[in-house]
Chains A and B, each alone.
Chain A
Amino acid sequence: MPSDLSTTYLGMRLRNPLVVAACTLCQELDNLRRFEEAGAGAVVLHSLFEEQIEHDQTEFAMVQEYGADSFAEALSYFPSFELFHTGPEEYLRHIEAAKKAVSIPIIASLNGITRGGWSRYAQLMESAGADALELNIYFVAADCNMDGREVEQRYIELVQAVRESIKIPLAVKLGSQFSSPGHLARQLVEAGADGLVLFNRFLQPDIDLDLLEVRPCLKLSTPLESLVPLRWIAILYGRVKCSLALTSGIHSAQELAKAILAGADVGMIASVLYQEGFGVIGRILTDLAAWMDEHEYPSVAAMKGALSQQNCPDPAAFERGNYMKALVSYTGRLI
């Protein structure tokens, strides 16, 4: 009997635990169809950035006003335009089209900058037919006078505000840099989050050695990166009442299996899609099924959380300092 790969994420029944993470590939309707055909359990659409929308709106308003009404011969420089695609309309149309194009769940993704913006766009996405919403909260606390509590409070208030404005399931995609991710996770769930996505990979500033300039940089993930979220999924499993998704570093069935064993409901992939193409989805699922078969797991549900901190033979392993643990194991193996 084949393994049962189905899972439940954010209250939605998925045919398997492999979800396409928010990435630029999700902008094309054709790609969504190919994800579905390849077997993906669900898709998170690329993020709608409120900042980008505001930037575009401001830029276009500025352009129309730049140099205008200054010189008698050239009171404007462009024909007047209407219906600029600077707002969220394009994204909302994409949700609608995606819902028509595929039958797997479509999770919209939102990055806001203002409380009003978060709620407004969340409502619009819900109205457009999104099955769930993933909040992509991105806040770099560069202000050294801001304490961690204040930062966390912003997250919580934001989740509350969005929760109040929509009825569809709500996931929160977090960064990894919190003093006490577990505590924050609980508070977010209390604030209304139905799921947590661990962890976001941010655009990181890099230095151009020739130009002595700082440039934004986003590199594709490696499987090693899955270890950090793996630890926190394992710790949170059973301790927070919400769905868990592991994102970052899933490149094969191995990382996906580990994620589920740690307690994730789903694993999300993106980098590997860019590297290996759409076919990787089928390969991961086949390999996962084979592994489950080999290890006699009849279903994903049976795997889920088996090696979480609660269930694993050595709970302290998730708490130990990595250096000591790695050193000891390494020497032990050598000896």
Chain B
Amino acid sequence: MKSGKFVTLEGNEAAAAIAHLCNEVMAIYPITPSSTLGELPDEWAAKGRKNIFGVVPTVVEMQSEAGAAGAVHGALQAGALGATFTASQGLLLMIPNMFKIAGELTPTVFHVTARTVATHALSIFGDHSDVMAIRSTGWAMLAAGSVQEAQDLALVAYAASLESRIPFVHFYDGFRISHEVNCIEVLDEEQVRAMLDPEHIRAHRLRAMNPERPVLRGTAQNPDVFFQSREACNPFYFRCPEIVQKVMDKFARLTGRQYHLFDYVGAPDADRVIVIMSSGGGVVEETVEKLLGEGERVGVVKVRLFRPFDAQAFVRSLPKTVQVIAAMDRTKEPGAIGEPLYLDVVAAVTEKWAEHAPDRPMPLVIGGRYGLSSKEFTPAMAAGIFEEMKKAKPRRHFTIGIEDDVTHLSLPYDPSFSTEAPDVTRAVFFGLGADGTVGSVRNTCKIIGENTPLYAQAYFVYDSRKAGSLTTSHLRISPRPIKGSYLVSRANFVGCHQFVFLERFDVLSMAEPGAIFLLNSPFTAEEVWDQIPAEVQEEIIRKKLRFWVVDAYRVAREAQLGVRINTIMQVCFFKLSGVLPIEEAVQHIKDAIVATYGKKGGSAIIERNFAAVDRALDALAEVQYPQQITSKKHRVPPVPEDAPEFVKKVLGKMIANKGDELPVSALPVDGTYPTGTTRYEKRSIALEIPIWDSELCTQCGFCALVCPHGCIRMKVYPPAVLEGAPLGFKSADYRGKEFAGWKFTVQVAPDDCTGCGLCVQACPAKDKQVPKHKAIDMLSKFEHLDRERACWDFFFNKIPDVDREQVKIDTIKGSQLLLPLFEFSGACAGCGETPYVKLVTQLFGDRMMIANATGCSSIYGGNLPCTPYCTTPDGRGPTWSNSLFEDAAEFGFGFRLAVDQTVEYCHELLRRLTGQLGDNLVSALITNPQETEGDIRRQRELVAELKRRLAEIDSEDARNLHAVADFLIRRSIWSFGGDGWAYDIGFGGLDHVLASGRDINLLVLDTEVYSNTGGQSSKSTPRGAVAKFAAAGKAGRKKDLGLMAMSYGNVFVGQIALGANPVHALRTIIAAESYRGPSLIIALSHCIGWGIDMVTGLDQQKEAVACGAWPLYHYDPRDKEHPFHLDSKPPSMPFKNFAVKQARFAMLVRSKPDRAEQLFQQAQEDIWARWRLYEALAQLKGNGQFLEAVQAVSGSEVTT
């Protein structure tokens, strides 16, 4: 039975609450999965929540994690209590400061949501590769293994750090703990205050820098004393474990929860012990408890304090009877004898066993890797490890949880082993991001955790695509505390909140026999059986499931809730699961609705939700199903049968959510994947798709231009091609002289369209009789799907692409006849960034190299399972790579250097081989200007000829030249990234690359906010906009990145907005690429983070330009007389009129009207000041005059 104050929250919130109380200065930078750790104190500070010193702490967002660590270092030196929060690459950026902070014996805590460090691939998920990379910094490392421990050990870390003077990393598993919802006993402010000794805090302040008694810290030392000085800190490290244990004991006296440096659970006479850190500890503990009941002698040591590693305390935690120890590491150190925890355990046992148990033989230590990148770690796996440890010669080094069919290191295990108790409700819910499923499960967890004697745990698995994404929610409700942090795999309740999922996913694979299956179905209980796929019928019958349906969308519609079916499904869950009397559950749900919406002034929403709750049960019905399979429908294969082998066998598994089943051998060894694979994943998520009216169409190309997903294509072709066209395939006579007599078609890819509707917004052609009918209309997909599928197949596969040399690429129409080499990405429906990306690939894709900063564009560009960058039919296309968030400019710059260098090498080899290759060929290859499509085609022909001739020459030079001959074809080098990259974390590198004078194109997809990490303010965020870390509206002015770049004088700069002036955008991009020096294109990209209906994105861009918030211009250094052109008209509407249509601004009006008024006024003044400046610059003649003026306003040094 629970006692004390229980609250249901996520791991990050639990830790953040302690950080907020214990600190005065928090400098932060967003990174998944730690972002909320900083966002919450920022929000709390904005609301005036105080720390234990009675003051509201200062929370500042920095330009990078390196900046955050530097700021915290400074705050600590100046005597404040400071902290930061980070993960993965972010932690790595903090390392230099961490060495300093530890070297100076400065108390602080960095809270880390342990996350995979990018290697062959980026991963946002959890493992210990980041924290293991900071072992040498001298920081103490305290591991929390549950939401409760995330809170408790955070406080232990603060108290121990202040006393020991050793800085602490307090870490726990990213996502698995940081985002797990669990009910915990919360610490109150008094308990926190009681743990922190004021003497230690005063001592910290007295050590701070103070001009009243100045000191100098951070000297440069020489060989004579550095070593000795480094050893001087030893006593602090020796004392540290003892201090931590003392603090833990004090904590136990205050709270009743006792922790130790190493917590042993298991048989006192265990022969096998697993040693493990963080969330894996709970999993093994559950396993141990079950195995003990079966008579096994097993145990687990949960490591709390990993650094300083107290070997004696560790060995003492082990039963003397232990014969085999398995040290489990959630990280991989290729090339090491073993991973860090293993090595420490080996060393500790070697050093201390004889003292501990002189009469017992030293146990065997084996080491295993588990759970990389949040790979599931389950009791079945833990049991598998214990099985291995029983063997006479267990493997010294192994992996668990995967099938390693290459080096055969993986252990087998019995997946049917389970520790789940029958009295635990185990539920899995499949939902769409937009339907509120996650919110309702989180809420259910809260209701149970805070209003009943029961315990609840919830965890959520999200999709890798942003549009139409699947969410899987895992919920446990138990009469006992829930220790094991792993997914539900044996569900006694399965809720499928989207009917269409039945065709795509095996939603019942987790259902145990006799489970309840609740389906949101547009069909009634009588109708539904024949509408579900045969495979689902079979599983229902075989597992004897109790099958219920509710038409939640109908109920939601009737209650005016749109697609939010969350409360309806929640009521049905409570009714069917019986965890609470339904009346009580309904009251809790209603209370939660009031709590959620009441504070936001949403009485209307409350009433609608109440209505939905009240109607839900009436719509719920049990399905009486026959005992035979009757359906003619079948689950759709994840990829078509004719897809390439790799796509079918590897990517297809990932698409079907069965990627866990792939063995090591199936996967590339170095993270290299084929491009062009999104076309095989037919997600078919749109309800409506654009349908073309060939007669009305003016063939302008706007629809294809703005399509964020490359789903609307245009082709022009000779009439004869139409032979064999499917019924209903539409075409029109081409309008234009260049292809007179040819046919023209606009075609949608019906299964790839997300239904965003931007194309219809962009279409200017209206029917004169019925103006609501345009040349392209959104119509029901289901009514048009069969025909459009056939048409797309014919269009895509049978109609040839246009000859690029014949197209006027500087017109919208011409550009859209070019094949997009970026298609069907998983970006948000209606994304404002992807149309630019697609356009660039149409123009230059067949010779592009892309260096992509981490962010939205790297996620929709490179997140598995499928890749949207693709190739021409002859196999050419963009080659893409992501290095880091901060270095896309430098990374692309490296491409440039390599290409230029290799071209030089090619030329040298050509010259050496001229005798054998012939003067004409060599000369033609070297002198081809490669300015036009014709030049490029000619160069490709020359290179082909070169390779043919080289193949006949038997020399090292010939073979070397053959290997690099492709470099002779001019490449288009690009760096892509968002404003977080260009304005903030990557600005230094971007600036340096711009200053280099080299031929590189930097495309900034400027959403004016950190989009990928969930809407944090960047230096591009405009004044007055609400964003995370700017909850009160951003007070400062937006940075003028373009003006800074122009100050170099030799950088092409263009500011564009596709929605406002597409021709300007197109021509600026072409001009930028043609410039043989650095080019910076700043492209306005509307975003969910603006708080808009994405279908209006293009209009929002138009208004941004019309009000002057986003002036269009280009600066071309080649134009010596008139380099700067202001390409948009003077502001013609007030900023306020633009702003109030976007929630990012309108929120401020609703929350702080006076401040909104003031900031909008200032924003308006910014607009006019900037406009007047640009107007003046546009008048200047000659680059020299221009640069002097820019220098005067930007204060930057002119480089020419």
* A86 in contact with B1150 (CB, 8 Å): yes
- Return B464 CB to nearest CB of chain A, in Å: 8
The size bracket of the interface on B is: 35 or more
* B1149 in contact with A79 (CB, 8 Å): no
- Residue ID in chain B nearest A77 by CB atoms: B1015
Knowing A67-B828, A85-B1153, the reply to whether A78 touches B604 (Cβ < 8 A) is no
* B1088 in contact with A67 (CB, 8 Å): yes
- Return A83 CB to nearest CB of chain B, in Å: 7
- Return A82 CB to nearest CB of chain B, in Å: 4
Knowing A59-B1143, A80-B43, the reply to whether A71 touches B1151 (Cβ < 8 A) is no
How many angstroms between the C-alpha atoms of A64 and B1143 in the bound complex? 9
- Residue ID in chain B nearest A214 by CB atoms: B771
- A residues less than 8 Å from B439 (CB atoms): 65, 68-69
- Residue ID in chain B nearest A90 by CB atoms: B1153
How many angstroms between the C-alpha atoms of A229 and B1149 in the bound complex? 39
The size bracket of the interface on A is: 35 or more
- Return B46 CB to nearest CB of chain A, in Å: 7
Residue in B39, B1088, B1153 whose Cβ sees the most chain A Cβ within 10 Å: B1088
| Interface-located stretch among B72-80, B259-267, B1006-1014, B1112-1120 | B1006-1014
- B residues less than 8 Å from A82 (CB atoms): 47, 599-600, 1151
Within 8 A of A (CB), among B595-634: 597, 599-605, 607
- Return A1 CB to nearest CB of chain B, in Å: 49
Against B, the Cβ 8 Å flags (1 = close, 0 = not) of A275-309 are 00000000000000000000000000000000000
How many angstroms between the C-alpha atoms of A76 and B35 in the bound complex? 11
Is B200 in contact with chain A by the CB < 8 A criterion?
no
* B1143 in contact with A60 (CB, 8 Å): yes
How many angstroms between the C-alpha atoms of A74 and B1027 in the bound complex? 13
How many angstroms between the C-alpha atoms of A86 and B597 in the bound complex? 12
Is A212 in contact with chain B by the CB < 8 A criterion?
yes
- Residue ID in chain A nearest B1156 by CB atoms: A85
- B residues less than 8 Å from A65 (CB atoms): 436, 439, 564
* B599 in contact with A71 (CB, 8 Å): no
* A63 in contact with B1013 (CB, 8 Å): no
How many angstroms between the C-alpha atoms of A163 and B1151 in the bound complex? 33
Within 8 A of B (CB), among A11-63: 53-54, 56-63
Is A213 in contact with chain B by the CB < 8 A criterion?
yes
- B residues less than 8 Å from A84 (CB atoms): 600-602, 1147, 1150-1151
Within 8 A of A (CB), among B804-838: 828
- B residues less than 8 Å from A83 (CB atoms): 599-601, 1151
* A60 in contact with B1011 (CB, 8 Å): no
- Return B417 CB to nearest CB of chain A, in Å: 29
* B46 in contact with A67 (CB, 8 Å): no
Against A, the Cβ 8 Å flags (1 = close, 0 = not) of B1122-1154 are 000000000000000000000110010111010
Chain B at the A interface: mostly helix, strand, loop or mixed? mixed
How many angstroms between the C-alpha atoms of A56 and B859 in the bound complex? 33
How many angstroms between the C-alpha atoms of A65 and B36 in the bound complex? 17
* B438 in contact with A74 (CB, 8 Å): no
- Return A321 CB to nearest CB of chain B, in Å: 37
* A74 in contact with B1015 (CB, 8 Å): yes
Knowing A78-B1015, A79-B42, A79-B46, the reply to whether A73 touches B1027 (Cβ < 8 A) is no
Is B1042 in contact with chain A by the CB < 8 A criterion?
no
Is A81 in contact with chain B by the CB < 8 A criterion?
yes
Knowing A59-B1143, A60-B602, A60-B1143, the reply to whether A72 touches B124 (Cβ < 8 A) is yes
* B602 in contact with A61 (CB, 8 Å): yes
How many angstroms between the C-alpha atoms of A146 and B602 in the bound complex? 32
Is A179 in contact with chain B by the CB < 8 A criterion?
no
- A residues less than 8 Å from B1026 (CB atoms): 78-79, 81
* A72 in contact with B602 (CB, 8 Å): no
* B1015 in contact with A81 (CB, 8 Å): no
* B600 in contact with A81 (CB, 8 Å): yes
Is A145 in contact with chain B by the CB < 8 A criterion?
no
Is B1076 in contact with chain A by the CB < 8 A criterion?
no
- A residues less than 8 Å from B1014 (CB atoms): 73-77
Against A, the Cβ 8 Å flags (1 = close, 0 = not) of B14-57 are 00000000000000000011011001001100110000000000
- Residue ID in chain A nearest B598 by CB atoms: A82
Is B148 in contact with chain A by the CB < 8 A criterion?
no
- B residues less than 8 Å from A87 (CB atoms): 601, 603
- B residues less than 8 Å from A274 (CB atoms): none
- Residue ID in chain B nearest A66 by CB atoms: B1088
Against A, the Cβ 8 Å flags (1 = close, 0 = not) of B397-437 are 00000000000000000000000000000000000111011
How many angstroms between the C-alpha atoms of A43 and B1151 in the bound complex? 28
Against B, the Cβ 8 Å flags (1 = close, 0 = not) of A81-100 are 11111110110000000000
* A85 in contact with B1015 (CB, 8 Å): no
* B1091 in contact with A85 (CB, 8 Å): no
* B600 in contact with A85 (CB, 8 Å): no
* A71 in contact with B597 (CB, 8 Å): no
Interface residues of A (CB under 8 A from B): 53-54, 56-87, 89-90, 116, 212-213
Q: A75-B36, A212-B768 are in contact. List 12 more A-B contacts (CB 8 A).
A: A57-B601, A57-B605, A69-B439, A70-B463, A73-B33, A73-B35, A75-B438, A78-B1147, A79-B1031, A82-B1151, A84-B1151, A86-B601
Task: Please list the 3 inter-chain residue pairs (A to B) with the smallest Cβ-Cβ separation, ordered nearest first.
Answer: A70-B433, A74-B1014, A69-B438
